[in-house]
Amino acid sequence: MNESLQTQYAYGGAGLAADRQRVLRNTYWLLALSLVPTVLGAWVGVATGLFRLMSPGVSMLVFFVGAFGLMFVIERTKESAAGVGALLAFTFFMGLMLSRLIGYVLGFKNGTSLVMTAFGGTAAVFFAMASLATVIKRDLSALGKFLTVGAVVLMVAGIATVFLQSSALLLTVLVLSLGVFSAFMLYDVKRVIDGGETNYISATLNIYLDLYNVFQSLLSLLGIFGGDRD
């Protein structure tokens, strides 16, 4: 009887591990796919100058309405194939919103290299955090609460920078965003590995937002400190 129970537990554990690996694999595939509409959206935004003449306040309003609206649709459809379409539409929109920053950085003489450096730096952070998540045995679930509070504080501070026009506050927000969303990357990947997130569409959305914020913060800092207009 004991042998029978041990066999059942072994099969159950193997099946659970296989499910987690499947979710992680699907998440990584969908994450890679989501970069395509992001790049396309950024290209369309830069080519058309869609947000160039839009004030920062209006641009921020469009961002919040569009982003939160599409995230709501993703959560409602994440159990069906429509969720994939909603996620890709969201990443296209996020690419559009990123075009204002990319267009500004491309205005520098070394703008293209800055964009590529930011992309490479973001990829390096992702691979480091994803690798770290596979070797850490400790439960990181408690970390999520602190990171969520940090993200909310950063969002409020980010809104404040639009109205206060404070360079010191902006730099503080950008540096802290790099740290908070890099840690979020570790947390979100670890959740999938540990079985805390079983839906690959939701997992992709979370990790995509981490990547997006790290890239945006890194590109902004590179533009501030490394931009060359001569």
- Written as one letter, the residue type at 229 is R
Specify the pLDDT at position 60: 83
**Confidence category of residue 10, pLDDT binned at 50, 70, 90:** very low
In the chain, the amino acid numbered 206 is: N
CA–CA distance, 184 with 161 (Å, rounded to integer): 23
Q: In the prediction, which pLDDT does 136 show?
A: 86
Mean local confidence (pLDDT), 15-31: 86
pLDDT at res. 61: 86
Band of residue 15 on the pLDDT scale cut at 50, 70, 90? low
| Sign of the CA dihedral running 189, 190, 194, 197 | negative
Asked if 110 contacts 223 with a C-beta cutoff of 8 angstroms, the reply is no
Report pLDDT for 14: 58
Rounded to an integer, the average pLDDT of 78-104 is 93
Q: Does 3 or 60 have the greater pLDDT score?
A: 60
CA distances from 210 to 4, 143, 165, 189 (A): 44, 15, 25, 11
Q: What is the pLDDT of the chain when averaged over all its residues? A: 87
Residue-wise pLDDT tens digits, 34-76? 999 999 999 999 988 877 777 777 888 888 899 999 999 999 9
Please give the pLDDT value at position 11. 47
pTM: 0.89
For 141-164, the pLDDT digits (tens) are 878 888 989 899 998 888 888 787
Tokens 């920062």 map to which residue? 56
* R_g over Cα of the chain: 20
Query: Could you give the angle at which helices 111-135 and 82-106 cross, rounded to 10 degrees?
Result: 140
Of 20 and 37, the structure prediction assigns the larger pLDDT to 37
